[in-house]
Every structure is written in structure tokens, then in C-alpha cells.
Amino acid sequence: MIAYFNKNYVATGIFDREIGRNLARLKQKREQSDYDDFFIASKEEAQKQFDNAESIVAAIIEYMRKNNSGTII
């Protein structure tokens, strides 16, 4: 899904490359927390990733509003 998003939305310039990089970081951190036996996220790291996720969702919602792309909750 991330590869599809990057190919169709980031590479085409619809979304900034920073959003693509942040998505990759979020995925990496999620995988680390799932599969690394001793992974412990600091409160600061968790907050940073939460803020990244919020900004990505906000950018997608804004895109959907501007392009009348379906229902937004």
C-alpha cells in the first residue's frame, strides 16, 4: 500500500516527498515494535511518530476535500 501511494501520489507530485519518507519511517517503527524483541520507544519518539501520522492524514484529507474524492469522516 505504501509503495502504491508513493508511486501514484508522491512520485507524481500530488504529495510532497517528505510525506513518502514519513510513511516509510512509520512503517519501519511499526515493524520494529512488532518484531524486535527489545524495542522500546521513548515518549518523545512515540510523540514524533504520532505527529507524523497526524500530518499525513491531514494532508490526505485536504487533498480529498479539494478533489471531491469520496466521503470524509
Burial call 8-39: b when 16+ CB within 10 Å, e when fewer: ebbeeeebeeebbebbeebeebeeeeeeeeee
pLDDT > 70? residue 26:
yes
Read off the pLDDT of residues 33-65 as tens digits, 9 standing for 90 and up: 888 888 888 899 899 999 999 999 999 999 999
pTM for this structure?
0.77
